[in-house]
């Protein structure tokens, strides 16, 4: 099944059903999911100069804004019409006509615009003076449409590590369900429950004194930390807070990420993300950290903008099978590995390490096609993911350690946003 991108841009990305959650990982930075903002159509009509007859088929459609940032993914009926046949504007069904050129990546919808204005990117702190963002890639739509299917799924290659190499990672947030930050004792109690099962613990920001409290707990319980700069407008301040939080003991830090799904959600442009990456790397090196620095975004964003991976020290990508309505829980592992294969085919270095920095399955919420939440389903999905990465567990970070009761349930994420905790587990501070 092809995927077709419409609105202000039409770009065929790959040949599997795609969708992605809109997670809100910082207590002070919650945004309404974009996926509910575009109404479902009965069909979309595309005038295509390469077609000789009218054809109709279900396609996976990726809605984007004028900057090619993905907004929503769904399945629509696409009607491909030759240029010589005029679209019947009086048809009883709702249509959106898009003119498609075989040699252009862009097409302007006729008589239609986005139903909302995409959010303006946040202000970005000045990047290091030696940095010059690379130009946006120019990709031929024809070459994308004719790209062959990968012949096989990617098999992860084991990575050596002094700690946690045989254990999966897990994401963690330091917020209480009733509001406020968890105390150092709360964080230590959480780590006591999860530390034995996981190697690296991924954080998203530096607020709530989370770096210091997680550092103390990780050091006590034998974990390493995947730290995050959530607000890319305050990179240097975040780095300073990190350095203080770990007492400049960078041996405890596996990776530092810059942003989370910002390009996917319209929170930053590709150039802004790359500039923030360069700025963060320079500040971290000056503070004594010489480990990996990466941009984290969704697989949709990485497929559209592989330079986000190319410029990172490894490719860090969020892949959630639950948000594909055609994937069952037991197929979660194969969904991830096939998606990783597609990302790898677009990288400048096809041997670059790819780490899945978020993946999991909700145990409560509403169904998304044949993707059904539930305790049994979560168990099947997690087993499938672990089986797929049995030889390289450290290349997967599961989402998430505890239920996130501080989040707001939303229809766009199938009312499941709070219920991704591994095994349905609640933090002791929320019980």
Bridge-based pairing of strands 200-202 and 224-229 is parallel
Q: Give me the domain span that covers residue 307.
A: 169-430
Judged on CB neighbours under 10 Å (0-12, 13-18, 19+), 278 is buried
Q: Is residue 54 part of a domain?
A: no
Question: What span, in angstroms and rounded, lies between the C-alpha atoms of 249 and 33?
Answer: 37
Instruction: Tell me how far apart the alpha carbons of residues 426 and 8 are, in angstroms, rounded to a whole number.
Output: 42
More confident residue, 387 or 42: 387
Assigned domain for 68 exists: no
Residue 411 falls inside a structural domain: yes
Encoding tokens for residue 382? 């997690």
Angle 282-288-291 from CA coordinates, rounded to 5°: 75
365 assigned to some structural domain: yes
Asked, for residue 269, whether it belongs to a domain, the answer is yes
Dist. CA 311–CA 118, nearest whole Å: 26
Task: Pinpoint the alpha helices (H) of 229-388.
Answer: 235-245, 262-265, 270-286, 299-304, 307-310, 332-344, 375-388
Residue 81 confidence class, pLDDT cut points 50, 70, 90:
low
Instruction: Give the Cα separation of 330 and 149 in Å (integer).
Output: 23
- Residue in 195, 133, 147 with CA at minimum distance from that of residue 12: 147
pLDDT tens per residue across span 333-347: 999 999 999 999 999
User: pLDDT (tens digit, 9 = 90+) per residue, 14-56?
Assistant: 333 344 444 444 433 333 333 333 333 445 656 555 566 666 6
Q: Which of 35-39, 58-62, 269-273, 319-323 has the lowest mean pLDDT?
A: 35-39
Per DSSP bridges, beta strands 109-110 and 97-100 are antiparallel
The overall average pLDDT reported for the chain is: 76
Q: What does the DSSP 8-state code read for residue 222?
A: T
Core vs surface per residue 329-354: b (16+ CB within 10 A) or e? bebbbbbbbbbbbbbbbbbeeeebbb
Is 231 part of any domain?
yes
Q: Length of the chain, please?
A: 431
Q: Please give the Cα distance from 201 to 216 (Å, whole number).
A: 13
Count the domains in the chain. Answer: 1
The string of pLDDT tens digits covering residues 310-330 is: 999 999 999 999 999 999 999
pLDDT band of 166, cuts 50, 70, 90: confident
2 is a domain residue: no
- Within-domain flag for 145: no
At residue 384, the 3 state secondary structure works out as helix
Q: How far is CA 284 from the centre of its chain?
A: 24
Say if CB 103 and CB 90 are below 8 A apart: no
Q: Is 377 a catalytic site residue?
A: no
| Predicted structure pTM score | 0.68
Is residue 411 packed enough to be buried (19+ CB in 10 Å), middle (13-18) or exposed (0-12)? exposed
How far apart are the C-alpha atoms of 425 and 431, rounded to whole Å? 10
Catalytic: which of 59, 76, 331, 358? 358
In this predicted structure, the answer to whether residue 158 has a pLDDT above a threshold of 70 is no
Element (H, E) at 211: helix 210-221
pLDDT of residue 214: 98
* Integer angstrom CA distances of residue 370 from 43, 184, 270, 404: 22, 41, 33, 24
User: Region 120-137: what's the mean pLDDT?
Assistant: 32
3-state secondary structure of 255: strand
CA 412 to chain centre: 15
Query: How many other CB atoms are there within 10 angstroms of residue 234's CB atom?
Result: 17
Higher pLDDT, 81 or 327: 327
DSSP string computed for 125-190: PPPPTT--PPPPP---HHHHHTPPPPSS---PPP---SSSTTS-EEE---B-TTSSBPPHHHHHHH
Domain CATH number, residue 250: 3.20.20.80
């Amino acid at each position: 099944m092809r995927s077709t991108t419409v609105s202000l841009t039409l770009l065929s990305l790959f040949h599997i059903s795609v969708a992605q959650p809109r997670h809100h990982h910082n207590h002070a930075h919650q945004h309404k999911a974009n996926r509910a903002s575009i109404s479902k159509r009965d069909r979309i009509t595309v005038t295509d100069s390469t077609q000789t007859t009218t054809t109709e088929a279900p396609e996976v459609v990726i809605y984007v804004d004028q900057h090619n940032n993905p907004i929503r993914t769904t399945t629509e009926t696409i009607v491909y019409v030759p240029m010589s046949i005029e679209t019947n504007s009086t048809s009883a069904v709702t249509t959106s006509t898009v003119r498609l050129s075989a040699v252009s990546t862009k097409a302007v919808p006729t008589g239609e615009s986005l139903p909302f204005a995409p959010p303006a990117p946040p202000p970005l702190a000045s990047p290091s003076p030696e940095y010059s963002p690379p130009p946006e890639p120019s990709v031929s739509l024809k070459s994308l449409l004719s790209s062959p299917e990968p012949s096989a799924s990617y098999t992860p290659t084991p990575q050596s590590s002094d700690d946690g190499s045989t254990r999966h990672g897990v994401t963690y947030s330091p917020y209480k369900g009733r509001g406020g930050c968890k105390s150092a004792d709360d964080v230590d109690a959480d780590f006591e429950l999860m530390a034995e099962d996981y190697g690296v613990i991924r954080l998203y920001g530096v607020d709530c004194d989370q770096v210091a409290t997680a550092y103390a707990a990780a050091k006590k319980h034998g974990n390493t930390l995947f730290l995050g700069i959530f607000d890319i407008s305050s990179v240097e301040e975040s780095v300073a807070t990190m350095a203080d939080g770990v007492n400049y003991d960078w041996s405890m830090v596996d990776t530092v990420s810059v942003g989370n799904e910002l390009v996917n959600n319209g929170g930053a442009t590709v150039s802004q993300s790359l500039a923030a990456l360069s700025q963060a790397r320079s500040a971290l090196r000056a503070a004594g950290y010489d480990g990996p620095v990466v941009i984290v975004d969704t697989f949709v964003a990485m497929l559209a903008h592989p330079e986000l991976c190319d410029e990172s020290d490894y490719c860090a990508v969020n892949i959630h099978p639950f948000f594909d309505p055609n994937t069952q829980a037991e197929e979660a592992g194969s969904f991830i590995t096939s998606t990783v294969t597609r990302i790898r085919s677009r990288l400048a270095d096809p041997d670059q390490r790819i780490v899945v920095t978020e993946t999991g399955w909700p145990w409560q919420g509403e169904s998304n096609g044949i993707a059904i939440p539930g305790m049994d389903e979560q168990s099947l999905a997690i087993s499938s993911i672990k089986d797929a990465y049995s030889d390289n567990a450290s290349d997967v970070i599961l989402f998430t350690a505890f239920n996130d009761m501080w989040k707001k349930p939303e229809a766009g994420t199938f009312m499941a946003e709070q219920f991704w905790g591994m095994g349905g587990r609640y933090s002791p501070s929320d019980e």
